[in-house]
A and B are shown apart, each in its own frame.
Chain A
């Protein structure tokens, strides 16, 4: 036999996994399965299989690099073990100094988006201009068309960066709205209680 002896047999899926590994190292934002399949010129199903192989290989605790499913795609990130070292050298500027007003605005856009500034102001009871501007600047929300009507206000939606920063696979990973807050019935009863206490 002319060819040199190979210690590791390379099967086709393993070769595809290597290609995907390379694509993910170069990428600076999550890549979807279809994007990976197009770039690797391979079948999406085989890409999924290769990704399964890689997720096993790059699971938390196995390597300094972790493969995660985030923002509708796949991306590498640093392992949590290395977080302190990373924090000494890098920062996460996107979320630094995120105010309560900005978080509330972000929650409204994430749940009700696309929605406009007047809508946000109606729910929060205060003007939302500066909170919206700060979120746009951070890249957590972005413009998404206008409301219908003569003076259609600009509408906003969350960006893939929002999902990535908050570690969400998609917006569907947010907790259900019904599970949050009190029932309006409870609030109404409390209001009536206060009213009757004042009246007596």
Chain B
């Protein structure tokens, strides 16, 4: 019954509240840090319990001493883990010396703390201002004197329109497809057939490509027939319709039922539209549209 009294000892500590045996269980399971346990609190609770009784229970006291001693050793080992081995190796004399040295060190700090407490009490009447540190007077950036005229001049320079950039070096120009269509029609009005390669000879690569497009247009509308002896051989163009040259509109010919519903000028117009963006850009170029057009009319004449 007596040892049970030790285990049932009710504790009310900072880190733990409950019976002593639960505290021991928690410590053994490592669910409670021994260094958080106030051993003095446990001893005081036990002494209080003892004083409530009339007679001293020696068995309970013995049991308690063993438990508390074990607890103290555990706590000490955890507080100074690396020093445990070091102290074990010491001779009793050295150990006493080490202990004395440490006690002396602690005693000094205790006295220093007492001195600080005294000092604090003496200085209690000192009142002074406390607050955020004032703005540092250094690190200030100095600017050169400025005038509003200089600022306005700088802004004016920035606000000026940029100079026109010449795109003259970009030589890609597309003559309208319709120009070649008309040219080939008038050519076929005079001759029954002609050689495409010799007709476009001397023109630029782009002009030759547009001339070829015009050829395809005419072929699509059934006005011409194309023949070529071999790949890369000269393309021969011959007239198909017996219409009066110049007015050979596919839809006006009764025999051309497969002719597209869309009239020819519209189709070429559509083609021209596709090229329009390039033409539009070209409009800004130095060699003007009219200049170019006159070149073409001169050729086809």
Q: Is A125 in contact with B97, judged by CB distance below 8 angstroms? A: no
* B68 on the A face (CB < 8 A): no
C-beta contact mask, A64-98 vs B, less than 8 Å → 1, else 0? 00000000000111101011001100101011001
* A187 on the B face (CB < 8 A): yes
How many angstroms from the CA of A76 to the CA of B128 in the assembled complex? 7
Q: Is B124 in contact with A107, judged by CB distance below 8 angstroms? A: no
How many angstroms from the CA of A110 to the CA of B108 in the assembled complex? 13
How many angstroms from the CA of A83 to the CA of B97 in the assembled complex? 49
How many angstroms from the CA of A98 to the CA of B101 in the assembled complex? 28
How many angstroms from the CA of A80 to the CA of B122 in the assembled complex? 11
Chain B residue numbers with a CB within 8 Å of A103 are 113-114, 116-117
How many angstroms from the CA of A27 to the CA of B138 in the assembled complex? 15
Q: Which of B109, B113, B122, B128 contacts A78 (CB 8 A)?
A: B128
Closest to A75 in B: B128
* B192 on the A face (CB < 8 A): no
* A108 on the B face (CB < 8 A): yes
Q: Among the interface residues B80, B105, B123, B127, which one has the most CB atoms of the partner chain A within 10 A?
A: B127
Q: Is A125 in contact with B79, judged by CB distance below 8 angstroms? A: yes
Chain A residue numbers with a CB within 8 Å of B105 are 123, 184
Task: Work out how many contacts link A and B, with CB atoms closer than 8 A.
Answer: 129
Given the contacts A166-B116, A181-B110, A127 and B35 also touching, CB distance less than 8 Å: yes
Return A2 CB to nearest CB of chain B, in Å: 33
* B131 on the A face (CB < 8 A): yes
Given the contacts A166-B116, A182-B107, A28 and B125 also touching, CB distance less than 8 Å: no
Number of interface residues of A (CB under 8 A): 55
What is the size category of the interface that chain B forms with chain A?
35 or more
* B56 on the A face (CB < 8 A): no
How many angstroms from the CA of A39 to the CA of B140 in the assembled complex? 12
How many angstroms from the CA of A126 to the CA of B128 in the assembled complex? 35
How many angstroms from the CA of A76 to the CA of B116 in the assembled complex? 22
Return B99 CB to nearest CB of chain A, in Å: 7
Q: Is A166 in contact with B128, judged by CB distance below 8 angstroms? A: no
How many angstroms from the CA of A165 to the CA of B117 in the assembled complex? 11
Q: Which of A80, A177, A188 contacts B112 (CB 8 A)?
A: A177
Q: Which of B104, B112, B120 contacts A110 (CB 8 A)?
A: B112
Closest to A27 in B: B134
Within 8 A of B (CB), among A26-56: 26-29, 38-39
Chain B residue numbers with a CB within 8 Å of A111 are 109, 112
Q: Is B119 in contact with A167, judged by CB distance below 8 angstroms? A: yes
Q: Is A80 in contact with B126, judged by CB distance below 8 angstroms? A: yes
The 3 closest A-B pairs by CB, nearest first: A83-B125, A184-B104, A188-B100
10 examples of A-B residue contacts, CB within 8 angstroms: A28-B129, A83-B124, A90-B127, A94-B130, A167-B126, A174-B115, A181-B107, A182-B104, A183-B104, A191-B100
